[in-house]
Amino acid sequence: MFWVLLIAILILSGWAQYQVSHQFRKYSQAPNRRYMTGAQAAEAVLRANGVSGVSIGRCSGHLSDHYDPRDNTIYLSESVYDSPTIAAVGVASHEAGHACQYAAQYFPIRVRSAIIPACRFGSYFSYILIVIGMVLYSQSWFGLGVLLFSLTTLFQLITLPVEFDASRRALATIEGTGMLYEDEYPGARKVLRAAALTYVAALLMSLLYLLRYLLIFLNMSRSSD
């Protein structure tokens, strides 16, 4: 059953990655008729939501766009910052949506920010402890590794509403302010929906491995009785 589910999730993950690349490439070749760049779109979302003091800068890489709360800056890649395309408006608006979340003290993003240090620790040490537990057949070490691994699953679980809400804020602002024409709006929505699917696939993969580790842990408990 594990391998069946693993293959299914891998297929979903591959499909999600394909959709992200395909939709972004497709709508990156579709200029919006308002000739609004990604940077201008991010500014428009911030302005429409009454958020000020957020900087907008450039970053290298492909689809590396992100909002960094540490310096309160939205970083847009070269294919988004200066590009007056439907895809650029969608991606930049999504990142501005994250800035709006922080400004509004959106609860899930506050929780996610609070657990980031613990999740990084868990991500780094969980596999080490799981391997040690399996090699030594130690339920204690293995259980500690599973506990740390569960933190990364929790992080991905909390990430889903954060990402969905950022896209919701972005699309609502795009539609409400007329940043894109009516026939252009579905393109931005497709780009953001494809990106959201990757987070769903990542969570399902993490949940599957967590379930597997829990079952191994329970088998260790039975063996030790």
What is the Cα–Cα distance from 15 to 8, expressed in whole angstroms?
A: 11
Contact 202, 160 (CB under 8 A): no
Q: What is the DSSP letter of 104?
A: T
The domains of the chain are located at: 2-224
Catalytic residue, chosen from 43, 78, 95, 182, is 95
- 174 and 185 in contact (C-beta within 8 Å)? yes
- Other beta carbons less than 10 A from residue 93's beta carbon: 30
pLDDT at residue 221 tops 80: no
Q: What are 82-140's pLDDT values in tens digits?
A: 999 999 999 999 999 999 999 999 999 999 999 999 999 998 899 999 999 999 888 89
DSSP reduced 3-state for 189: helix
Q: Which residues pair with 67 in a beta bridge?
A: 74
Q: How far is residue 80's CA from residue 58's CA, in Å, rounded to a whole number?
A: 9
pLDDT (tens digit per residue) in 32-58: 999 999 999 999 999 999 999 999 999
Give residue 123's pLDDT: 87
* Distance separating alpha carbons of residues 185 and 32, to the nearest angstrom: 10
How far is 113 from 99, CA to CA, in rounded Å? 13
Told to judge if 184 belongs to the known catalytic residues of this protein, a careful annotator would answer no
21's tokens: 């690349």
How many whole angstroms separate alpha carbon 139 and alpha carbon 19? 41
**84 φ, ψ to 5°?**
-90, 55
Owner of token pair 């940077």:
39
Please write the tens of the pLDDT for every residue from 64-77. 999 999 999 999 99
Q: From CA 223, how far away is CA 117, in angstroms rounded?
A: 35
> pTM of the prediction?
0.90
| Distance from C-alpha of 62 to C-alpha of 203, rounded to nearest angstrom | 23
Torsions phi, psi of 68, nearest 5? Answer: -110, 110
